[in-house]
Amino acid sequence: MHTRILSSAFKKDNRRQLLTLASARALALFFGGFGVLNVIASFRLPGLDANLWWIDLRALPELPAKLFLLIASVCLISFALRPSQSTWRRALTITFTGLLAAVAISNTFKFYALFMHGNMRPAMPIPLSLVIFAALLLIIRVALRPMPLPTPSRIPLRVMAAFMLCLVCFPLAQMICFGKTDYRRPADVAVVLGARAYVDGRPSDALADRVRTACQLYREGLVRKLIFSGGPGDGLVHETESMRRMAVQLGVKPQDILTDKSGLNTQATVKNTEVLFSQLNAKHILVVSHFYHLPRIKMAYHRDGWEVYTVPAKESYFLRQTPYMMAREVAALWVYYLRPLAGC
């Protein structure tokens, strides 16, 4: 009986170690691959810094930052593919992963400094950089532990499963940590993205939440103009007309409302509103939509060289479509990220 208990405890401990190793390798593969793609993107699309989605290296000059990230990413990928490392490879991996962790914790301190000064209103005061810091510490912990040789060169199924989970969880973390954070501040204009308008012209609950939030920004004096962007409604009333009617009822002056009736999707809204920004000579922009939509909006504007600040729509109640919309945004966010790299 005693031997059986020891054997069971050993198997349980062994499974836990294998899970920890698989998690560390998957995280290293994800961060390393994402880092390499971002370095490639920065050369293909000058001025684009997609690394801001996971780590902020703007304190470093551009070229040293790219070189540092490239070396760190190669080290992480190498560890993911072959965790049994020689002494010098292990030292290199731990050093550069440790430096990334130091940057991540520095980003965390910056987040809390902005929070304390009232420059943001997070729904949950836990920044993504803190989660990334913890993930990098796990990689370092596993890399410090000697491993039996040889390690299979192929990537085990459990590592690939954990890697696929990273691909899903990263956009979800963006929606929760970034999307739910309110960055409202004085601006020239607020862009409000459309949602469904019913046959009778009434705005859907989602659309009403967005318009109501934008009108609050207007009444507080944070913006002087509102831009409503959307597509056709279910009936004869266009989404933007439904939005305009509601905004006027909430006290917005008609002359302070502009509409983009060709905002059929996020990318179209970005392109169309950029023209309106130029007409208004607007430099400071707020964007209002639901939290799950905001990371993709931010990415689209950033890619076109616009620094916008996002404000999540205050929901009157939890929308039943939210889980579906979040799942859809997971795929959409990766499509928007990868499409320019493919030249589409």
Give alpha helix (H) positions in the chain.
2-44, 62-81, 87-116, 128-144, 157-173, 205-219, 239-249, 266-280, 294-303, 322-338
Residues 154 and 108 in one domain: yes
pLDDT at 12: 55
| Residue 328 in domain | yes
Same domain (yes/no): 224, 300:
yes
Pair (37, 91) in one structural domain: yes
Q: Does residue 343 lie within any of the structural domains? A: no
Give domain status of residue 344, yes or no: no
Tens-place pLDDT, residues 1-42: 455 544 454 445 567 888 889 999 999 999 999 999 888 887
Is 59 part of any domain? yes
Task: Give residue 75's pLDDT.
Answer: 96
Whether residue 201 sits in one domain with residue 300: yes
**Residues 119 and 194 grouped into a single domain:** no
Q: Give the per-residue pLDDT at 9.
A: 46
Give 324's pLDDT tier (boundaries 50, 70, 90): very high
Computed over every residue of the chain, the mean pLDDT equals 90
* Percent of the residues in the chain that have a pLDDT greater than 70, as a whole number: 91
Q: Which residues contact 340 (CB under 8 A, 6 or more apart)?
A: 41, 44, 45, 303
46 falls within a domain:
yes
Query: What is the structure's pLDDT at 85?
Result: 77
Asked which of 179, 197, 226 is the last residue of a domain, the reply is 179
Specify the pLDDT at position 49: 67
Q: Cα 195 from chain centroid?
A: 21
Q: Is the pLDDT assigned to residue 279 strictly greater than 60?
A: yes
Based on the domain organization, do 201 and 173 belong to the same domain? Answer: no
Q: Answer yes or no: do 14 and 137 share one domain.
A: yes
Average pLDDT over residues 41-61: 79
Q: Kindly state whether residues 196 and 159 are assigned to the same domain.
A: no
Residues in the chain: 344
Q: What is the mean pLDDT of residues 299-307?
A: 90
Q: Give the least confident one: 10-14, 77-81, 86-90, 301-305.
A: 10-14
> What is the structure's pLDDT at 150?
46
Phi then psi dihedrals of residue 193, to 5 deg: -85, 145
DSSP assignment letter at 266: H
Question: Do 212 and 242 fall into the same domain?
Answer: yes
Of 179, 206, 222, which closes a domain?
A: 179
SS (H, E, C) 275-310: HHHHHHCCCCEEEEECCCCHHHHHHHHHHCCCCEEE
Q: Are residues 55 and 162 in the same domain?
A: yes
| pLDDT tens track for 72-83 | 999 999 999 988
97 versus 20: the higher-pLDDT residue is 97
Q: Could you tell me the residue range of the domain that residue 236 belongs to? A: 189-338
Domains contained in the chain, number: 2
Using the 8-state DSSP alphabet, how is residue 203 labeled? B
- pLDDT category of residue 94 using cuts at 50, 70 and 90: very high
Q: Is residue 184 part of a domain?
A: no
135 shares its domain with 12 = yes
Of 128, 156, 179, at which residue does a domain stop?
179
Q: Is the pLDDT of residue 210 over 90?
A: yes
Pairwise CA distance, residues 325 & 105, whole Å = 31
Encoded amino acid at 35, one letter: G
Written as one string, the DSSP assignment of 216-249 is HHHHTTS-SEEEEE----SSSS-HHHHHHHHHHH
List the single range of 63-67, 106-110, 155-159, 274-278 with lowest mean pLDDT: 155-159
**Does 141 map to a domain?**
yes
Q: With bands split at pLDDT 50, 70 and 90, how would you rate the model's confidence at 343?
A: low
Q: What is the pLDDT of residues 164-188, one digit of tens each?
A: 999 999 999 999 999 999 999 999 9
Lowest mean pLDDT among 51-55, 151-155, 161-165, 293-297: 151-155
- Say which CATH number the domain at 220 has: 3.40.50.620
Q: Are residues 197 and 162 in the same domain?
A: no
pLDDT digits (tens, 9 = 90+) for 113-165: 999 998 899 988 899 999 999 999 999 999 998 665 445 556 688 899 999 99
